Amino acid sequence: MFVKKSVDDLAVFSGSPLFNDFKSTSSLYQPALSSFLQYSKAFFDNRHYTNNGPNVKLLEKRLAEFHQTKYCITFSNGFWAIVLAMKELALAGKTEVLMPSFTYRRMADIAAWVGLKPRFCEVSPDTLAATYDTAKPYINEQTALILAVHPIVNCCDVTGLQQLGIEYGIPVLFDAVESMYETIAEGKIGSFGNAECFSMHASKLLNGCEGGYVTTNDEELAHKLRLKRSFGFAGQDNCIAGGGLNAKLNELHATMALANLDELPQLVVANKKRYDLYKTLLSAVTGVRLLQFDERYQTSFKTIIVELTNDWPFSRDKTIELLNAERILARSYYSPALHQKKMLYPACSADLPLTDYLCTRFMLLPCGDFIGANDISQVVMLLQFLRDNADQIKSLQLSEANHDSN
Ligand SMILES: *Cc1c(COP(=O)(O)O)cnc(C)c1O
């Protein structure tokens, strides 16, 4: 049942919101409490709360197995994991890190911490991520590193970007935060390029409350990252590596991640149910195109992203405003793009017309552990209602705007 009968029932006008509580786009999955407590014993009983405790060690072992890599090094969050991996991998004496502009909002800050300038490249309209062809024109004699970021749905051009790095002798670091569960034809995400970075923030697929990790097959890199996440210390007060941080994962967060790792397959089954329902229902709504997961390989079905095509009657931002009023926390997909933002630090950017266009078109719809089948059908019925009543909504908003300015 859908309660809104007329345009006045919309929350942007005089109606009450469609939902009583907010519907978010974050995963926020919770493991069984008993499992969390069971894992907790390993550190609680012997008061080993941090500094490479038993659950950090177990988590690193299990994640290395999961990603089929030799090494996994955990960190306090994804941000510092990427900063430290970037710093280790960047070619000495060079100044730029090549990355897409249409990507995670904080990526340019990460480069700034490393002292590198982002050099933004275009993406492919098919994957919304960088490819061999979109990145190659932006390589120059100052390129220190290629930061290959996976998009939220499916994967970037892993083999192409890896190949590009080999061709020019430039290291490749993958930000695989959004592709933690994914597999491609060549194998499991985690073992490509020089290293791959992941996050265990509560909003991500593997919830460790906060946390991050790097996977790699490079023993020397793994060793350096272990030193640097822990001040650069080797033994007591013997600081042998410069540029260290305190970026260790603590036992509480490792415990949460271990309990959640056991339940990942269950979470993915639930995600797929949500995704399949959206897919069925949205197929009837003209102008809203669901980004589809590539089901030939393993995928998480986590995030629901739609493109508002040219037959949709509202702009993306107007649509988000209408949905937010109903307590649907729809969000824009990576908008504004990084090259469009005013930067506090140096960046290098040419015109990126395709990115300018793409970043006006996509939005995230509610997903994750809190979203049930009824929520999804309400969201889709609301979209259909907005479409059916678009002319009236627009004229009412126009007359309100005129009224306000009088
Ligand atoms: C969330 C995210 C990060 C940062 O991870 P945190 O653990 O939140 O610091 C990096 N890259 C991408 C693509 C992300 O989505």
Is any ligand 1 atom within 6 A of the Cβ of residue 175? Answer: yes
- CATH code for position 40: 3.40.640.10
Q: Is 196 in the pocket of ligand 1 (CB under 6 A)?
A: no
Q: Residue 322 belongs to what domain range?
A: 7-26+265-405
One domain for residues 94 and 166: yes
**2 part of a folded domain:** no
Q: How many domains does the chain have?
A: 2
Residue 78 Cα to ligand 1 midpoint, Å, equals: 5
pLDDT digits (tens, 9 = 90+) for 237-251: 777 767 788 999 999
State whether 82 and 213 are in the same domain: yes
Distance CA 75, CA 89 (A): 17
Q: What is the pLDDT along the chain (406 residues), one digit of tens a residue?
A: 899 999 999 999 989 999 999 999 998 899 999 999 999 999 999 999 999 999 999 999 999 999 999 999 999 999 999 999 999 999 999 999 999 999 998 999 999 999 999 999 999 999 999 999 999 999 999 999 999 999 999 999 999 999 999 999 999 999 999 999 999 999 999 999 999 999 999 999 999 999 999 999 999 999 999 999 988 877 767 777 677 889 999 999 999 999 999 999 999 999 999 999 999 999 999 999 999 999 999 999 999 999 999 999 999 999 999 999 999 999 999 999 999 988 777 777 779 999 999 999 999 999 998 899 999 999 999 999 999 999 999 999 888 878 776 6
The verdict on 128 and 257 lying in the same domain is yes
Residue spans of beta strands (DSSP E) within 236-379: 288-290, 304-308, 331-332, 362-365
One domain, residues 202 and 333: no
CA-nearest of 366, 177, 197 to 282 is 366
The answer to whether residues 165 and 394 touch, using CB atoms and an 8 Å cutoff, is: no
Q: Looking at the CA of residue 79, tell me the nearest atom of ligand 1.
A: 9
Is the CB of residue 104 below 6 angstroms from any atom belonging to ligand 1? yes
Q: Kindly report the number of other CB atoms within 10 A of residue 241's CB atom.
A: 17
Same domain? 73 vs 91: yes
Instruction: Verify that 249 and 330 share a domain, yes or no.
Output: no
Whether residue 133 sits in one domain with residue 269: no
N residues, the chain = 406
User: Ligand 1 in contact with 178 (CB < 6 A)?
Assistant: yes
**Domain termination site, one of 238, 262, 286:** 262
- Residue at which a domain ends, from 235, 262, 289: 262
Same domain for 156 and 54? yes
**276: CATH:** 3.90.1150.10
Residues 6+ apart with CB under 8 A from 57: none
Question: Could you tell me the distance, in angstroms and rounded to a whole number, from the CA of residue 79 to the centre of ligand 1?
Answer: 6
DSSP state at residue 238: -
Residues 370 and 234 in one domain: no
pTM: 0.96
Same domain assignment for residues 245 and 273:
no
